[in-house]
């Protein structure tokens, strides 16, 4: 289990973006973090993956204090993070990246198995370079595949739906559902997508650096006002408070 | 000099530059310390030692299948300054892989140098893949120098692909490549250069397209580490309806410095020439991504450089 205890994070100029987050991500569960843009969702994911270090608070993984662990140490401890914006590499191939992700010399059938989950054919993509010749959707799907290839206990996906076509997205939903049943690990997805919210076990609403709601899907989903009153905070709190 | 005179240093370098496993399948000429150590011709590839200069003429005829010829050169001790003239005469319809490559090894504070002057004459519709790796090894303060000069003439419909890599340990190199392309000829050059410490590398390309629908694709990848310096100059000249593309990418590590001066000249309304260039350090997000996959910062940097230099087909 991953536990965040009173996590704070601020920019170098002192502006606080995460303001005391307490959260438990449980194994075997799909937790979805949602909320308005700029509310702190991606920042929180980066704090978990070690890209940012908290200015206050503790992060525990299965009871072990990993707060001071760097990115590599967190990865080795079992945290995998799919970036919202995939990184391009001149010269590295899909195959090479998957091998690095899995930490072993993957066989072709193993790559087939992983890439199939994101709707890509291994034979067609394995030797492709991860450069600008891949479309946004293709590189996003490969980004997701790198996390699936890892033997991690915490899988974090930052807006996996962004840039992905409708058909691939359906298979991605199936993949997440399968992961819930196959894996003992915990899934953490940052998303605004209703279809992802609909398969969540737990939903966390973050706005202005704070958790506004958290709980099981059936409790939190009705509060999100997905089909409701238009733009702004899903809870309408910005209007109320502003 | 005979085959049995090929020394251990050469064998080690042959393995690095040609994947030598004790045998070459096909025609070959192995050069060591300024002398031909072994030479073998086949029915389709005839290798003839020159009489006026050190070096060989390689006559390549069209065969039933793709042939390979190996012409590695090794300098295995300090004090050797080897100059060699190799001319490739590739006949119409021939399809061949030429594996060149050069290793220079120093044994004390005196330098060692190899200067390979290669001329390629490709007759109409011939097809050549040229592969070349350069490496420097050894001890002492002696400079390890490799100065290749390449001249290319591609006749109608001829195709030449040059895949050249400078692996490591070469203190100084000046690489000069000139090419002239006639109608429908195509030249593809992929060059990668790694420099470190105080290494200096200069590379100059001049490609002139004289024939309609000829094309050149020139891709250069450089990594300058330590205190090393690299200079890249290319001049693509299109005097007819033709297409030219050059791409120069460089990664800087430490205090490495790269000077890139690409030039294009279009002497015809239908000459379409493009240049792309980018120089900079490794993008931080690339290192971070590989760290999230379990690599350390150093391992990530190494992997990024390795991929950048070897590239993906």
Here the CATH number for the domain that contains residue A159 is 3.40.50.300
User: Which pLDDT does position B251 carry in this prediction?
Assistant: 96
Q: Exposed/middle/buried for A63, CB within 10 Å: 0-12, 13-18, 19+?
A: exposed
Segment B100-120 shows an average pLDDT of 96
Which of B135, B178, B138, B274 has its CA nearest to residue B217? B274
Residues of chain A with Cβ-Cβ distance to B310 below 8 Å are 91
CA distance B41 to chain A (A): 36
Residues of chain A with Cβ-Cβ distance to B289 below 8 Å are 83, 87
User: Which pLDDT does position A90 carry in this prediction?
Assistant: 87
Q: Tell me the residue length of chain A.
A: 242
Q: Would you say residue B108 has pLDDT above 50?
A: yes
Q: Does A83 touch chain B (CB under 8 A)?
A: yes
- Summarize pLDDT for A8-51 with one digit per residue, the tens: 999 999 999 999 999 999 999 999 999 999 999 999 999 999 99
Helices (H), chain B: 8-18, 284-292, 297-310
User: Which pLDDT does position A229 carry in this prediction?
Assistant: 46
- pLDDT band for position A155 (50/70/90)? very high
| Whether the Cβ atoms of residue B134 and residue B165 lie closer than 8 Å to each other | yes
DSSP lists the bridge partners of residue A210 as A207
For residue A48 the two structure tokens come to: 């978990």
A72, B310: Cβ pair inside 8 Å?
A: no
Segment B59-86 shows an average pLDDT of 93
Segment B118-144 shows an average pLDDT of 96
CA distance B289 to chain A (A): 7
B304, A89: Cβ pair inside 8 Å?
A: yes
Kindly report which listed range (A121-125, B56-60, B194-198, B221-225) carries the lowest average pLDDT score: A121-125
- pLDDT band for position B197 (50/70/90)? very high
Segment B186-190 shows an average pLDDT of 97
- Summarize pLDDT for B10-30 with one digit per residue, the tens: 999 999 999 787 778 889 999
| Whether the Cβ atoms of residue B32 and residue B54 lie closer than 8 Å to each other | no
Segment B247-260 shows an average pLDDT of 95
Kindly report which listed range (A61-70, A112-121, B105-114) carries the lowest average pLDDT score: A112-121
B290, A127: Cβ pair inside 8 Å?
A: no
Mutation for A interface: B289, B303, B306, most A CBs within 10 A: B289
Q: Would you say residue B4 has pLDDT above 50?
A: yes
Residues of chain B with Cβ-Cβ distance to A99 below 8 Å are none
For residue A23 the two structure tokens come to: 């959260």
Number of domains in chain A: 1
User: Which helix (H) or strand (E) element contains residue B159?
Assistant: strand B159-168
User: Which pLDDT does position A131 carry in this prediction?
Assistant: 87
Q: Which domain holds residue A43?
A: 2-241
- pLDDT band for position A241 (50/70/90)? very low
pTM: 0.85
Which of B132, B170, B176, B129 has its CA nearest to residue B150? B176
Task: Name the residue among B285, B288, B295 with its Cβ closest to that of A100.
Answer: B295
Higher pLDDT, B276 or B208: B208
Residues of chain B with Cβ-Cβ distance to A101 below 8 Å are 293-294
User: Which helix (H) or strand (E) element contains residue A234?
Assistant: none
- pLDDT band for position A227 (50/70/90)? low
User: Which pLDDT does position A233 carry in this prediction?
Assistant: 53
Interface residues of B toward A, Cβ cutoff 8 Å, are 221, 249, 283, 285-286, 288-297, 303-304, 306-313
For residue B43, which phi and psi values (nearest 5 degrees)?
-60, -35
Q: Would you say residue A239 has pLDDT above 50?
A: no
Higher pLDDT, A225 or A235: A225
Residues of chain B with Cβ-Cβ distance to A93 below 8 Å are 307, 312
User: Which pLDDT does position A183 carry in this prediction?
Assistant: 63
User: Which pLDDT does position A230 carry in this prediction?
Assistant: 44
Residues of chain B with Cβ-Cβ distance to A103 below 8 Å are 294
- pLDDT band for position A231 (50/70/90)? very low
A75 vs A70: CA distance, rounded Å: 9
Interface predicted TM-score (ipTM) of this complex, two decimals: 0.91
User: Which pLDDT does position A69 carry in this prediction?
Assistant: 97
Q: Would you say residue A242 has pLDDT above 70?
A: no
């Amino acid at each position: 289990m991953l536990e965040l205890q009173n996590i704070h994070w601020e920019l170098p100029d002192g502006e606080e973006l995460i303001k005391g987050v307490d959260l438990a991500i449980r194994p075997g569960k799909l937790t979805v973090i949602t909320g308005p843009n700029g509310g702190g969702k991606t920042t929180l994911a980066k704090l978990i993956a070690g890209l940012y270090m908290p200015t206050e608070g503790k992060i525990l993984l299965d009871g072990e204090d990993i707060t001071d662990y760097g990115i590599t140490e967190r990865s080795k401890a079992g945290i995998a993070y799919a970036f919202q914006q995939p990184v391009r590499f001149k010269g590295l191939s899909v195959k090479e990246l998957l091998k690095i992700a899995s930490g072993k010399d993957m066989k072709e059938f193993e790559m087939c198995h992983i890439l199939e989950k994101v709707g890509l054919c291994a034979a067609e993509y394995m030797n492709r370079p991860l450069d600008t010749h891949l479309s946004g959707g293709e590189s996003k799907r490969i980004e997701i595949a790198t996390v699936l290839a890892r033997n991690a206990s915490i899988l974090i996906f930052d807006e996996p739906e962004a840039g992905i076509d409708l058909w691939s997205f359906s298979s991605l939903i199936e993949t997440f559902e399968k992961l819930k049943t196959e894996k003992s690990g915990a899934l953490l997805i940052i998303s605004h997508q209703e279809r992802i919210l609909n398969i969540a076990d737990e939903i966390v609403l973050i706005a202005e650096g704070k958790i506004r709601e958290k709980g099981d899907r059936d409790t939190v989903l009705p509060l999100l006002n997905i089909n409701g009153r238009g733009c702004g905070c899903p809870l309408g709190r910005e209007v109320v408070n502003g | 000099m005979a085959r049995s005179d090929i020394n251990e240093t050469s064998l080690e370098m042959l393995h690095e530059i040609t994947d030598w496993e004790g045998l070459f399948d096909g025609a070959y000429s192995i050069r060591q310390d300024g002398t031909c150590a072994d030479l073998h011709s086949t029915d389709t590839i005839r290798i003839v030692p020159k009489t006026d200069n050190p070096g060989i003429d390689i006559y390549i005829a069209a065969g039933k299948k793709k042939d390979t010829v190996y012409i590695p050169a090794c300098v295995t001790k300090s004090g050797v300054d080897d100059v060699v003239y190799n001319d490739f005469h590739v006949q119409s319809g021939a399809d061949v892989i030429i594996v060149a490559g050069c290793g220079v090894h120093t044994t004390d504070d005196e330098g060692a140098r190899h200067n390979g002057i290669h001329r390629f004459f490709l007759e109409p519709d011939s097809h050549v893949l040229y592969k070349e790796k350069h490496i420097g090894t050894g001890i002492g303060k002696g400079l390890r120098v490799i100065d290749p000069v390449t001249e290319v003439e591609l006749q109608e419909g001829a195709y030449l692909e040059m895949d050249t890599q400078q692996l490591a340990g070469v203190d100084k190199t000046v690489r000069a490549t000139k090419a002239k392309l006639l109608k429908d000829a195509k030249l593809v050059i992929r060059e990668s250069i790694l420099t470190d410490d105080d290494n200096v590398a200069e590379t100059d390309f001049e490609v002139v397209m004289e024939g309609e629908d000829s094309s050149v694709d020139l891709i250069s990848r450089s990594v300058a580490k330590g205190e090393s310096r690299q200079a890249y100059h290319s001049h693509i000249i299109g005097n007819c309806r033709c297409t030219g593309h050059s791409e120069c990418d460089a990664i800087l590590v430490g205090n490495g410095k790269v000077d890139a001066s690409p030039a294009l000249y279009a002497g015809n309304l239908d000459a379409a020439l493009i240049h792309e260039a980018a120089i900079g350090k490794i993008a931080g997000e690339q290192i971070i991504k590989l760290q999230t996959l379990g690599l350390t910062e150093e391992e990530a940097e190494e992997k990024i450089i390795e991929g950048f230099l070897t590239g993906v087909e």
